[in-house]
Structures are given as C-alpha cells and as structure tokens.
Amino acid sequence: MADFDFFSEAFRTDPHGQYARMRERCPVAHASEPYDWWAATRAEDVSQMLRKYKLWSSSHGPGLAYAGGSALVSVDPPRHTSDRRLVQRAFDADALNAMEPDIADLVATEMDGWCDRGHGDLMELLATPVPLVVIAWLLGLDVDYCREIRPRADGVVSRDADVQSATPSSRDGDREEETAYFLRTIAERRAAIAAGDDLPDDTLTALMTAELDGRVLSDVDVLGFMGFLFIAGSQTTTQLIGNMVWRLLQHPDQMELVRGDRSLVPHCVEESLRFDAPVHGLFRTNTEETELRGVTIAENSKVMCSFFSANMDPDAWDAPERFDITRDLDTLRKHYAFGKGIHFCMGAPLSRIEASVALEAVLDRLPNLRLTGEPNFISAPVLHGVETLPVAWDPS
C-alpha cells in the first residue's frame, strides 16, 4: 500500500499514467485528505466491490463525504431494490429512446445558432447545453434557468473538510436557490396532480405518481432525486460528449473511420466511455473490517472503486491504452463507466443517445473540424475530461 494525492494536478491532466502506476505498484492505495480513505484500481477488485453490496455499502453515499440520503445511489437493499422498481418507469428504455427525435432537433437548433461562425469552444457551444436542456425537460424545469445555474459536481469529492460535512444543497446561496426552485416545481406538480390536470409526460411526473405495493415517494425523496439527477444526468454526459470529440480529434485516423462508416458511432461512444470514464470512481463504505489485496481496511472506511482505472486494466482489456473504435461493441459495453451491479446507471440509454446524436451532427455539420489549442481539464475531482475544447471548422 502507498499514499497518493488524488487532488494533485496529475490526476486532472494524466489520469492514465497515474492509474497505471497505482494498478502496478499499489492497487489498493491510501489517501489522507481530508481523512483516511482508499482507492481500488484493479478491475477484478472494483467488480467484486460493486457486486458485494452487503460488505461494500452505499448507505454513506457515493461521494467521499459520509453523507447518507434517500436517493437511490445512497441506499442498500432491500430499500434499494424496491426504490429502483418504484422509479423504473421514469427510466423505461422505450420512453428514453422515444426522446431521440427531440434531442436531434435540439442539437440542430443549437448548431444553427453558431455553425457558420467557424470556430469556438465546443464544450460551451454543444457539450454543455445539450445534456442540460435534456435534464431540464426530464425534471420539468425551466430551460433558461437551468442554463444560468448550471449543475456542479465539485462537492462529490473534495479535500475540503467543510465541504465534506455540508450537504450539497446547503453549500452556498446558489444551492439554496436551486433547492427552493426544485421545491416550487414539486409543489406545482403536486397541485396539478391533486387538481386532476393533464400532466407532462416527463420523469418528474413518473417519480411523483410512482406507486409500488402502496408506497409512493415523498416530496423529500423526489427532491433528493431531482438534485441527484440534475448533476448526475447532465455534467457526466457533457464530459462524455466533450471527451469523445477530443479523442477523435487527437486520433484523426479514427475520425476518418467513423466519417466513412457511421455504423461506428456507437463504438465511438463506448470506446470514449471506456478510455475516458467521465466519473473517475465512486465510493463504498465497508460494513466490517476487511482485507483487500493484503491491505487491512478498518470498518466504516471510504473506498473508491475506480471506474476509470478498471477500464484501463490490462488484465481485463486487450491493449487498453490504445484508443480504438473498431473494438467489438459487446465487449466494449462491459466497461465500468456506468458502474456495475445493482447501482448500474439508469440513465445510460439516454446519455448514449445524446452522445450519438451529438457526434452524428458534428460529423455532418462541422467539416474539417480541428483543434485550435490545448483543452483545459475539468477541476471537479470526481469528473474526468476536458472543460474547454477550442476548435475550428470550415463554415458552410
């Protein structure tokens, strides 16, 4: 076991190199800020941890903070099993797939606004607004308001002990305003349900009208869900779109391949998720003292399952450090970017659609796309990838 500094610049700019060294030299590594915690970096260990949910509990939350909650990601079975069934309708694959034409229209409208400009930051122009608007649709929120407040995942993993102990919704004025706005939205929808009005066919309605064995979600549960989805559903997909286009620009041969054969679009999405997992990793807390690769981990410790590193483990992948969109699609989909086991991401089909639609549009409408500078990397430690993507293209 060795110490590592997850908050160092190196994890932002060269996670591939950092994790390669950790997998090799200290697959269960120790960090000491803001208190003792561990990271598991080998695919086999991450897979075991995600499956053994009795030992590796989610009840203290998926972040570094010991912060429970009622959202799905923070509960264990049996409650998790029934809650997941309760909200399943909101994430029905057919309903999510039916959003594809609307998402294509949204992407087209966004691009109409700037396509003839010939240059810009693709994160600001495309990768940020598209998932934001989609999550606003799902949650019945005002699109302009969401564009203004922008969800931020900074508090999920932080070295700051104050942030660790604060609930995300009480960190600052913005968050309080956000919570108040969510509560107003819930109250309005509750009133519409009581009045028997026609309800929007969105995730919020599905959450608020869901019933299982006589159980319904309370407003507090719905609020927890909204707060979680607002962040988990938008910033992650923003990273996916940005990272994918960035890697294709870095690998012009791969860009040419997908330009010539659009059946490779889903491969690009999955290879991006594998090569650049948007979420570095999430945490579990062990319910009893245990040993992992010879390291004794005291009961109640926070241990990060590194999705990013598991995706790059040579024991699990053939030539993992090669960005290669011709990999077999079924094999690729076994990546860890959406987690594994009982907490597997419920929004995976939606983010796959958003990323595919965005890539098709980039290929169609931005000829001769090229980087015009080096991207900046995102500073929220839980997320990985580019924060800016300066590009130019030949305007039509």
Please state the φ and ψ torsions of residue 212, each to the nearest 5 degrees.
-140, 125
Q: Which of residues 351-390 bind ligand HEM (CB under 6 A)?
A: 351
Q: Measure the CA–CA gap between 158 and 135, rounded to whole angstroms.
A: 25
Both tokens of 238, joined, read 């923003």
Please state the φ and ψ torsions of residue 281, each to the nearest 5 degrees.
180, 165
Look at the block and give the residue holding tokens 């062990």: 286
Residue window 297-326: x/- pattern of binding to ligand HEM, with contact defined by CB under 6 A: ----------x-------------------
Q: Measure the CA–CA gap between 339 and 349, rounded to whole angstroms.
A: 14
Does 42 sit near ligand HEM (CB under 6 A)? Answer: no
Among 62, 69, 224, 227, binds ligand HEM (CB under 6 A): 62
Among 339, 375, 385, 390, binds ligand HEM (CB under 6 A): 339
Among 122, 125, 337, 383, binds ligand HEM (CB under 6 A): 337
Does 279 sit near ligand HEM (CB under 6 A)? Answer: yes
Q: CB count, 10 Å around CB of 11? A: 19
Question: In the chain, what's the furthest Cα-to-Cα distance?
Answer: 62
Contact 151, 234 (CB under 8 A): yes
Complex with ligand HEM: residue 265 or 393, whichever CB lies closer: 265
The residue number whose beta carbon is nearest to ligand HEM equals 347
At its nearest, how many Å lie between ligand HEM and the CB of residue 375? 18
For the sheet with 390-392, list strands across it: 119-121, 390-392, 370-371
Count residues contacting ligand HEM (CB under 6 A)?
25
Contact 107, 126 (CB under 8 A): yes
At its nearest, how many Å lie between ligand HEM and the CB of residue 61? 9
Residue window 83-102: x/- pattern of binding to ligand HEM, with contact defined by CB under 6 A: -x------------------
Does 346 sit near ligand HEM (CB under 6 A)? Answer: yes
Torsion sign (Cα): 151, 155, 156, 159: positive
Q: Which of residues 122-181 bind ligand HEM (CB under 6 A)?
A: 138
- Residues 6 or more apart whose CB falls under 8 angstroms from that of 330 comprise none
Does 350 sit near ligand HEM (CB under 6 A)? Answer: yes
For the sheet with 28-31, list strands across it: 28-31, 37-40, 302-306, 281-286, 56-57
Of 2-10, 194-202, 248-256, 345-353: span binding ligand HEM (CB under 6 A): 345-353
Residue window 201-240: x/- pattern of binding to ligand HEM, with contact defined by CB under 6 A: ----------------------------x--xx--xx--x
Among 40, 43, 65, 73, binds ligand HEM (CB under 6 A): 73
Q: Measure the CA–CA gap between 358 and 7, rounded to whole angstroms.
A: 31
Contact 305, 40 (CB under 8 A): yes
Return residues touching ligand HEM (CB under 6 A): 58, 62, 72-73, 84, 138, 229, 232-233, 236-237, 240, 278-279, 282, 307, 337-339, 343, 345-347, 350-351
